[in-house]
Amino acid sequence: MSDDLNVAGTEAIIADELSRHFGDLKAVDKLSLEVHTGEIYGFLGPNGAGKTTAVRMLCTLLSPTSGRAIVAGFDVASHPHQVRKRIGAALQNTALDEKMTGLELLRIQGRYYGLSSSEIKARIEQLAPILEMNAIDRKVGTYSGGMKRRLDVAIALIHSPSVLFLDEPTTGLDPTSRVRVWDEIRHLNKQMGVTIFLTTQYLEEADELAGRVGIFNQGHLVANDVPKELKRQVGTDVIVVNLDCGFDENVDISSDKARQVLEGLSGVERVDVQGEELAIASSNGASTISPVALALSAAELPVTNISLHTPTLDDVFFSLTGDRIEVDRQVEVSSEAADE
């Protein structure tokens, strides 16, 4: 990788064996990826996977233990100020002064980047689709959770960055607010040409928005491709079987027995197991589901439920890690009046 001040190319973000360790904890371990200019890149993983640590390094807020990253053409370690001029970041738990109005916060951020009053005014008008313009003169303390998120994104965009980092932008939002944020992310990417690095724990969010997805788990990038291709690698169909193993000590025995029974069955391509759940990849699930049920019944395995569906990113994550992404389902209850 070049040591020049500016690294030209079509990649908005390049990470080369980027690592961050906290003592013996390897929060991010040798992360290597490239994000193309103009794309939405989804960084998918459960809470505690290390996603936020990775983003903080790419945003110059945390120094790497080792490795290197180039963002918007500049090295994050040797030229952090150049990076900061060119990126926007709406990170988790951003503190917005609730005693100030949305307009005041936007103006302060604009002045921080050296924009004139007329430039700030013009930029706010450009960002109108994101902002709640009828609430911009109200104090932030009166905003709903969704309104605060949108204001936070607008603040990150006030200086027209080429790369925007969104760290779990819809966590805690109700479904309606989440869909509105999704629409705004698409608008930023398609209409404004902003490259977006989106971290999320929501499988449907990554599938809905991202052109490519990196699956991150326990500090490692375990997969990196377009969602369709990742799901194709799992199989055409997925048969999910739930066992009733009774006492905990019987779970592993029953699950291992079920795996042995199914792995040699015609139509079964792979069997992944997590506790009492089996995910069976098949090229033709419709013709395989009955033989699966019969084989498990003949083996006297206690099946409580069996279902068939096409692969999801959760199935991809399960096949790669042997685990499911547990999502924090807590949402903010906000009234329609709060958004008006």
Q: What is the pLDDT of residues 105-123, one digit of tens each?
A: 999 999 999 999 999 999 9
User: Between residues 128 and 60, which one has the greater pLDDT?
Assistant: 60
Question: What gap in Å lies between CA 291 and CA 165, rounded to an integer?
Answer: 47
Report residue 215 CA to chain centroid gap.
8
Q: Token digits for 54?
A: 């990775």
Quote the tokens at residue 115. Answer: 């924009």
Query: For residue 197, what pLDDT is reported?
Result: 98
Alpha helices in the chain (DSSP H): 51-58, 80-86, 102-112, 117-126, 145-157, 175-192, 203-209, 227-234, 251-263, 285-298, 313-321
| Pairing verdict, β 87-90 and 25-36 | unpaired
Q: List, in order, residues 6 or more apart from 305 with CB less than 8 Å away.
A: 240, 241, 242
Residues above pLDDT 70, as percent of the chain: 90
The pTM score is 0.79
Taking residues 122-144, what's their average pLDDT?
Answer: 91
Section 183-197 average pLDDT: 91
Q: Could you state, in order of their start, the residue ranges of all structural domains in the chain? A: 11-226, 236-310
Fold of 236-310: Alpha-Beta Plaits (3.30.70)
C-alpha 103/C-alpha 155 separation (Å) is 10
Q: What is the pLDDT of residues 212-249, one digit of tens each?
A: 999 999 999 999 999 989 988 887 799 999 988 764 55
CB of 193 within 8 A of CB of 164?
no
Q: Structurally, what CATH architecture does the domain formed by 11-226 represent?
A: 3-Layer(aba) Sandwich (3.40)
Q: What's residue 87's pLDDT?
A: 96
